[in-house]
Amino acid sequence: MPHNSKRRSSTSLLGAKRPSIQHANTETSQLNLLKEETHTGDHFLSPAQLEVIYRTNVITGLTENFAKELLEHYGPNELKELRGNSYWAIFRHNLFGWFQCVLWCGAILNFIGYFAADVIDPGGEGGHSGDDYLYLGCVITATIVGTGLFGFYQEAKNLAVMSGFEKMVPPNTVVIREGVKKVIPNSDVVLGDIVEMTGGEVVPADVRILSATNFKTDMSSLTGESEPVKHRPECTNANPLETKNMVFFGCPITEGTARGIVVATGELTQIGKIAGLVTGLKKEETPIAKEITHFIKIICGVAFTFGFIFFLMVFFIQNSWLAALQYMLGIILANVPEGLIVTLTVCMTLSANQLKKKNCLAKTLQAVETLGSTSCICSDKTGTLTENQMNVSHLFSNYTIYDKTDHAHVSERAYSILSLAASLNLKAEFSHDTIHLPIEKRKIMGDASESAILRYMEINRSATQARQMNPKEAEIPFSSAYKYQVTIHRMQSTHSYYLIMKGAPEIVLEYCSTVLTEEGDQPINPQAKKELRANFIKLANMGERVIGYCDYNLPLNAYPLGYAFDTQQRNFPVEDLRFIGAISMIDPPRYEIEKSIALCRQAGIKVIMVTGDHPVTALAISRQCGTITQPTAYDYAFEQHIDLADVPSHIKSQFSAAVITGDELRKMSVNDLKAAMKKYDEITFARTSPQQKLFIVETYQSLKHVVAVTGDGVNDSPALKKADIGIAMGITGTEVSKQAADMILLDDNFASIVLGIQEGRRIFDNLKKTIAYTLTSNTPEMLPFVLYACLGMPLPMTLILILVVNVGTDLLPAMSLAYETSEEDIMSIPPRKPTDHLVNRVLIFMAYFQIGLIQFFAGMYAYFVVFAESGFFPSSLLFARESWESPSATVKDTLGRAWFYIDRKRVERRAQTAYFVATCWAQVSDVIICKTRRISLLKKGMTNHVLNFSIIVELVLALLVTYTPLCHEVFSTEPLPWHDFILAWPFFILMILGDELRRYLIRNNYSKWIEEETYLEGFRGLVSLVAKCVSSVLHSFWPAFIKHVCGAHTTRVPDPLTSARTVMSAKLFILCCACAVAAAAPGIYDSYGGYGGYGGYGSYGYAPAIAAPVAHTIAAAPIAHTIAAPAIQPVAHAVAAPVVHAEPIDPNPAYSFSYGVADPSTGDHKDASETLQNGVVHGSYSLVEPDGHVRKVTYTADKVNGFNAVVERTGASHAAPVAVAAPIAKIAVAPAPVAVAAPVAKYTLPAIGGHPWG
């Protein structure tokens, strides 16, 4: 690395100090200095002045001692190492990003909950055990580590380890020191060294040319110039990058030799400044990273806000901060989608693989989506929009311009002579190792222009054969002094010599006196010269490089065969020649590039050409590609035959398209450039430097554009690094550009970018669908804790089951949405604005308050039905938490039966399992409706086979959790009868049909409001929405809640607006409940009549002597079902208890039931109960007769002692055994039954026969 020192200036003879990056006190000021344009005067100075400035001698060079001092003072001639992100940085990003940190907090809270379970939940009376916290913490930790390692692997395998600049530095250099020529390591080159350079090498530093012989360098990677630049000692331009007497570090030398003086080394060379810029620039956060951060902030805000609210509520209700902390933890964890990080990683990985198939290699996963967010593409010309290969475009002869594909005139004399001359006057040759390949694929040794002519003439005129038949006898090479090239050939057909001259057409024309036409040779008069020049200008204005040709048939008598031509003395004529025509060449646009750019325009994306090429050439290519379609000031100047500088300013201001050059950019401030970008719809930037490209990118970013930059050269690397997404060329791109970029085009084709944009937009849409799907389960996961804390109900869903949903059943369906195909109009809509977030108000509203609420109703419906089947109606569950969770307390159900802790916990686990299964069914319907936002499911179809498979997997997982003993132990679940497993089907159908109706209304434009409120509208109004919901809920339910807790009801006069909101919210809530209940009504059934024996758990012959109508009411469904109990016969003095609905609870034979029933026609009232513990049946029943006597029977039974009973009537005791029908056999058939009976009727309804739907 260079030392912190100052360097001598070349801008002054007084030896003032050159500006250096070491002057800066901070990294920012150093970077700003590197962004400035290069200002140096080395190219203006004479050799004598350079000797004074650099204290050297142009003949003998530096002394060894002085060179050693300079090396110690300035440091070695090396470039700053350019590396991408380290493996540790990538690993840290994937393991400790925003999202990961939130999950780490959740895992830590769970571990704290596990270790403090005895304090937080003594005796296990809470809604979940310490093991739940441990399982949840371990799974979240495994999720973070697993996805982190997966993301690290995906990004690390595309990481380039080597610095691209290292390959640009030559290992050794020839220098002259103390008059002796030496070969030294290139790192030892210092300021003032005299270096010698030859073709095939690399320029060792920034060098001012002192002498040169046909010396050419390839500066395309630095300036974008596609043609090799021929250098000479004279200054030709004020811009140091364009003058011919300067060569720059790292540029390949194509041919010739030169001697020069080193004027800059290491990081102060042009390439070193670019390396410093690339290394120092900090990339902006990608759009998807911003969206994920925004999403995390919303989720964390919602989670912690609700958690804190319920912490306060529970604290004031229960006066226990430990219990409040437990509820807060449950609310927070229910809101954090633990499986979403897995889904995001997998989705972007899948999309990256899809892009790779389309020749776009994403180096980072987040770059995949960034391309879809792009609103402005700053594209390099050479190699990206064009083929990076010069091709013949037009031929000019006989005062006519012919297209290269027009072969109708090949037989014309002027055309054929021009083709022959162009075939012969060539230095370029086909490489021998590729001569067997097709002409288009052969490698050519020579410059770009001659290679283009040779390839074209070989295809159309067989140039190789013509050159063999007419060998070259003499040649005057091209020189910048006279700007032409001459060859003399011995012609086989005429056995004479043929002279051909080529060069710049306006130069060649000056050596001619006649012009070849179909009518013969015509003298060149002023009118003919004007017409010829007008054609040259026309070709030049098309952005083409024009080469003119003239010839002379040497007379055989003056130049007989064997004549000795002397090119130094020029013993042959080079004046009074015949002008035969011209050939123009251009680096043509890529195939179908115009179509690709038109697609970008249709998608609302600006395409800006930024090139180092000449403005006229840039404008011509822009027109052919379609980046400029409107007139510019250049077109006006061409039409009026005036210079651009002569175009009046008021005329320039009328155009909506412009070509802005580097010289104009130097005079512009940031505000000036912003004004130009806003004013002109179409812009092309020409003759730009690397610093100016960076300036352009930063300005577009300041205008809130998401900028993509394409490039292949070293000069593009700062802009590639700074862009939101840098795209390098995989074939022609330099190592430096590939290192600085985020994505590599493997085929160098701009059309691949368009495919990448479409894929990126599809990714964003699918990510939005994935997040919408994932968030909907938050509502059914969070609201159970609300009911548990505020209404004192048994917990409907445990933390461990929440985890099963988040990282189990939901995971594969969420990932499968990444395989969804794009919407039909995805490339017809403008790029999303920065304010159009991944998670916006509408998505939150849909997920939490529409789909999420329906899922919650589905779960609560299943929850209440399962409890009702065991005799616990909703009214008996409210505010029963304290006694319910106490192992020592007994709880009575709606029928007045006492339940022990173990038995009621078993029922609770079955209800929690039903809630979980209902949530799974609702999520299946949710993933189906998330497939498309507009297109009908009937049209879209279920062609996403990954999604179809994921639905099957989700249901299989639900079955495993419900029915496998291992899952019962781990997840605290209980098996369900088959009918309870499908309780959520009405809601499943309701969600699909409702969303299909929504899409139908949107497609047919029935309601713009529906579209805005269910998909499109942005995030604005989220705060007001939450405020409205909270206000409405509090206003509707808070007084009743306070009355229950405090025993008082506060009243106030509500304002009309709040009242209206309250009424509206209440109506919507009631309507939603009513729709859910109406859809679910056919699924609400009890177990009496018509189901006498499903699943082997049917009723047996025990019932009251007199059939009585029984009213069966369930809170979730405001419909009273009246079911007639089947009549059976009484037996002796005892009436056997009816087992109306028995079903297995535990593999061990144990059960408990009780019920009461009355017959209004006779006045009989009967209560009965029975338990089975440790193989012994204990039972009793009593019957109140109309005369007031009470008959009570107490009995026991087992397999050893048989059946024994004691009968009591109105206090009288009969100790002798009574023959009563023993239920032992029945019990053996149906082990562990639980009787579910209807409650005693509070009112009488007419009895109906059979089941209501039977």
Number of residues assigned to the chain: 1254
Nearest in space to 747 (alpha carbons), one of 725, 717, 727, 718: 727
Burial profile 443-454: b = 16 or more Cβ within 10 angstroms, e = fewer: ebebbbbbbbbb
Residue 1201, both tokens: 């002692």
How far is C-alpha 649 from the chain's CA centre?
44
Residue 437 per-residue DSSP state: S
Please, which residues have CB within 8 angstroms of residue 967's CB and are 6 or more apart in sequence? 960, 961, 973
Residue 1013 per-residue DSSP state: I
Question: Is the distance from CB of 1183 to CB of 1157 less than 8 angstroms?
Answer: no
Residue 1155, both tokens: 């019920």
Nearest in space to 1153 (alpha carbons), one of 1134, 1168, 1135: 1168
Please, which residues have CB within 8 angstroms of residue 843's CB and are 6 or more apart in sequence? 768, 771, 772, 775
SS3 content of the chain, % helix, strand, coil (to 5): 45, 20, 35
For residue 526, the one-letter residue type is: P
Respond yes or no: is residue 380 known to be catalytic: yes
User: What are the backbone angles phi and psi of residue 558, rounded to the nearest 5°?
Assistant: -90, -30
Number of CB atoms found within 10 A of residue 1003's CB: 13
Residue 809, both tokens: 């059943």
Question: Is the distance from CB of 487 to CB of 475 less than 8 angstroms?
Answer: yes
Give CA–CA dist 320/330, Å, rounded.
Answer: 16
DSSP of 32-101, one letter per residue? HHHHSPP---GGGS-HHHHHHHHT--TTT-B-HHHHHHHHHHH--S-PPP-----HHHHHHHHHSSHHHH
Give CA–CA dist 447/228, Å, rounded.
Answer: 7
Residue 534, both tokens: 């007008």
Residue 645 per-residue DSSP state: G
Residue 872, both tokens: 């616990």
Give CA–CA dist 353/109, Å, rounded.
Answer: 36
Taking each helix axis from N to C end, the angle separating 340-357 and 130-156, rounded to the nearest 10 degrees, works out to 20
Alpha-carbon torsion, ordered 998, 1000, 1003, 1007, to 10 deg: -50
Question: Is the distance from CB of 140 to CB of 338 less than 8 angstroms?
Answer: yes
How far is C-alpha 971 from the chain's CA centre?
35
Give CA–CA dist 611/389, Å, rounded.
Answer: 16
Tell me how many degrees the CA angle 803-808-812 measures, rounded to the nearest 5: 140
Residue pointed to by tokens 């449950």: 330
How far is C-alpha 506 from the chain's CA centre?
54
Residue 1048, both tokens: 């008082």
Taking each helix axis from N to C end, the angle separating 750-776 and 366-373, rounded to the nearest 10 degrees, works out to 110
Question: Is the distance from CB of 1141 to CB of 1092 less than 8 angstroms?
Answer: no
Strand partners, 258: 197, 212
Distances 252 to 79, 185, 264, 765 between C-alpha atoms, Å: 17, 18, 17, 46
Residue 885 per-residue DSSP state: T
Catalytic member of 206, 380, 447, 980? 380
Question: Is the distance from CB of 460 to CB of 440 less than 8 angstroms?
Answer: no
Residue 268 per-residue DSSP state: G
Residue positions annotated with a catalytic role: 380
